[in-house]
Amino acid sequence: MSKITAAITAVGKYLPDYILTNEELETMVDTNDEWITTRTGIKERRILKGENKGSSFLGIHAAKDLLQKKNLDPKEIDLIIVATATPDMQAASTAAYVASQIGASNAFSFDLESACSSFLFGMSVAARYIESGRYKKVLLIGADKNSSMIDYTDRATCIIFGDGAGAVLFEPNEEGFGFHDEILRTDGKGREFLKVEAGGSVLPASHKTIDNKQHFVKQDGRSVFKNAVFNMSDVCERIMTTNELKNEDISWLVAHQANKRIIEATAGRIELEDEKVMMNIHKYGNTTSATLPLLLNDYEDQLKKGDKLIFTAFGGGFSWGAIYLTWAY
Ligand code: UT7
């Protein structure tokens, strides 16, 4: 029997209706469309409005979109992983709730968190479960309601982030398509540069943490930017070398959407033409765990069986990596 590879066989997405434009941000903080567009590439982002709706709401809709497109009975799913940096609650798994709500009654499920690398690391985990031969259908969802931890008076962060979710299905493939290789890394020294300080076990919520605005994302943008470009380029170059891939062999770069300039610098380092670089940051901003699956959704029509994809992400922690995968449908 040939070796089992873990292939992506379906994608789905959900974006909330509300569009927060650069023009509206101009009325909220001291910024302007020209600065945001030239420094980040973002024109608008989606925001989930309404009471009692968390990341699970986004994830459930993305999963339902995939189930409907694939005409898949949710009872066939073995495992659901929800990659998220904004779980519904600090305790009680978001994934368990998503699984119940979509009717995946035969699945086990868990959350996976590694800031903006959550989905990339989730791909690695999902692939291992499939490659083991034990599980046949693993649903990986990236869902983040970033607006729940953004200070809309802080122009350094509120212009960047948006809400959204994407889902992909991993299944066994015996034609050799799917997951081939990964380089995944973390460096805890980076946690000072991008964090939400309070609400966890180090600094539980208190009146003081609220007064000090410590439940919001704080970012040293320049340090994150430099580390992101250096490390994403490094792992992309290395995974190409290990797998004897030249730039002309690559069909698509699927890079975390945090800043258009970071993506362009990474693509430039591996000498990839613009047409091969998936980009949708102008529409959604940085949706943390949802950026990679949202790209696959937006480019699904252009993807062909056998296309060689390099995924890469960088995020808080620091955490980063690259994955080499061939498209299976
Ligand atoms: O996904 C997780 C990882 N996150 C990232 O990858 C984000 C990485 N960092 C970035 O994308 C960029 O650093 C930012 C978009 C956050 C900031 O862009 P930058 O080009 O690094 O700007 P900066 O922080 O160096 O600030 C340049 C200037 C400053 O003014 P002075 O000191 O030069 O007078 C800022 O105060 O731009 C000012 N500035 C703004 N001006 C208008 C900062 N934010 C804004 C703003 N509107 N929103």
CATH number of the domain bearing residue 299: 3.40.47.10
Whether 171 and 199 share a structural domain: no
State which H helix or E strand residue 263 sits in.
helix 260-269
Query: Distance (Å, rounded) from C-alpha 321 to C-alpha 233?
Result: 10
Q: 134, 161, 176: which is the final residue of a domain?
A: 176
Query: Distance (Å, rounded) from C-alpha 175 to C-alpha 98?
Result: 32
User: Which residue's CA is the closest to the ligand 1 atom numbered 48?
Assistant: 155
What is the whole-number distance in angstroms between the Cα of residue 41 and the centre of ligand 1?
12
Domain residue limits at 54: 5-176
Whether 25 and 164 share a structural domain: yes
Q: 176, 201, 225: which is the final residue of a domain?
A: 176
Q: What confidence tens digit (pLDDT) does each residue in 130-146 have? A: 999 999 999 999 999 99
Nearest Cα to Cα of residue 14 among 160, 166, 229: 166
Q: 123, 152, 176: which is the final residue of a domain?
A: 176
Whether 209 and 308 share a structural domain: yes
Whether 21 and 133 share a structural domain: yes
Whether 20 and 168 share a structural domain: yes
**Tally of structural domains, the chain:** 2
Q: Distances from the Cα of 85 to the Cαs of 12, 115, 136, 170, 248, in angstroms?
A: 19, 5, 26, 21, 35
Whether 53 and 87 share a structural domain: yes
Query: Distance (Å, rounded) from C-alpha 143 to C-alpha 207?
Result: 29
Whether 203 and 284 share a structural domain: yes
Q: Is the pLDDT of residue 1 over 70?
A: no
Q: What do you get for the CA distance between the two ends of the chain, in Å?
A: 21
User: Which residue's CA is the closest to the ligand 1 atom numbered 5?
Assistant: 258
Whether 143 and 22 share a structural domain: yes
Whether 230 and 157 share a structural domain: no
Half-sphere exposure of 146 (CA within 13 A, CB side): 30
Residue 3's pLDDT band (cuts 50, 70, 90)? confident
Whether 225 and 82 share a structural domain: no
Query: Distance (Å, rounded) from C-alpha 160 to C-alpha 285?
Result: 6
Pocket probe mutation, ligand 1, options 38, 222, 282, max atoms within 8 Å of Cβ: 222
Query: Distance (Å, rounded) from C-alpha 294 to C-alpha 73?
Result: 22
Q: What confidence tens digit (pLDDT) does each residue in 246-305 have? A: 999 999 999 999 999 999 999 999 999 999 999 999 999 999 999 999 999 999 999 999
Whether 262 and 202 share a structural domain: yes
* Cβ partners under 8 Å of residue 268, min gap 6: none
pTM: 0.97
Q: What confidence tens digit (pLDDT) does each residue in 168-216 have? A: 999 999 999 999 999 999 999 999 999 999 999 999 999 999 999 999 9
Whether 101 and 197 share a structural domain: no
